[in-house]
Structure 1
């Protein structure tokens, strides 16, 4: 039996843990790793796309991170109940042409009893930004900006 801890019902502490684990996984930019926190038959709405199952999740994330280069994400717990968590997030990335964006969004997550996410609903907006206006910089970027 597949389980991903922490398991519902969530407390504030375990909901915060789940959010941090998700942030860490997505920042790995490893579609296979990320897919393992979802049920085999997971359903997503991501912007205007509908994704069904882990295999589609892997394909979706592979394409995403081929387009969204130098992706860096920060998630924040918004609320939670027994087996639901709501998060707000922002992430930065650039395209092949070097245009930078900050993407803002909200996600609603529903988990099964084994702690796997069975449903993810995401609303996301992209805002063009200047390179110098980035929030999520690596140490090397900060040194270059000085």
Structure 2
């Protein structure tokens, strides 16, 4: 059986927003296996300066990420869409094991296959040090 992850392309404003909300919810679960199910088996990623290929690498990457980035909390916003592509802007907050807080800002470009699975994800991200009192993304 072919895996499917509705909604399917071509996207409308409503279905693109559904994809963004689903991604935000999955990433906020901090469950690498759950997140990886939204991607094709051979999905290509660029995350900052890291290049990944396939679900096993995605799961490994996310496991390590959430061991470093504690209390991770994310917000995504639909930026643009067309056909089988969606662009989002995002911000997330996290802390180190020394309780130093950061807010990370970025943009992602997503490309989906006909079954609604993401086959490409390219993310550009910048980190900004913040005080704990400056946090604005609630748990």
Above 0.5 in TM-score?
yes
How many residues are treated as equivalent by the alignment? Answer: 138
- Provide the residue aligned with 2:98 in structure 1: 97
Q: Is the aligned partner of 1:20 residue 2:21?
A: yes
- Which residue in the other structure is 1:34 paired with? 35
Q: Which structure has the larger Rg over C-alpha atoms?
A: 1
In structure 2, the gaps of 5 or more residues are none
Superposed CA offset, 1:39-79 (max 9, x none): 00000000000000000000000000000000000000000
Tell me the equivalent position of 1:132.
133
2:52 and 2:104 mapped to 1: Cα distance? 20
Alignment-derived partner of residue 112 in structure 1 = 113
Whole-Å separation in 2 of the counterparts to 1:102 and 1:117: 25
CA distance in 1, matches of 2:138, 2:28: 13
Residue 86 in structure 1 maps to residue 87 in structure 2: yes
Runs of 5+ in structure 1 lacking a partner? 139-146
- Separation in 1 of the partners of 2:44 and 2:138? 32
- 3-state SS of paired residue (1:78): strand
- Structure 1 residue runs of 4+, over 4 Å off? none
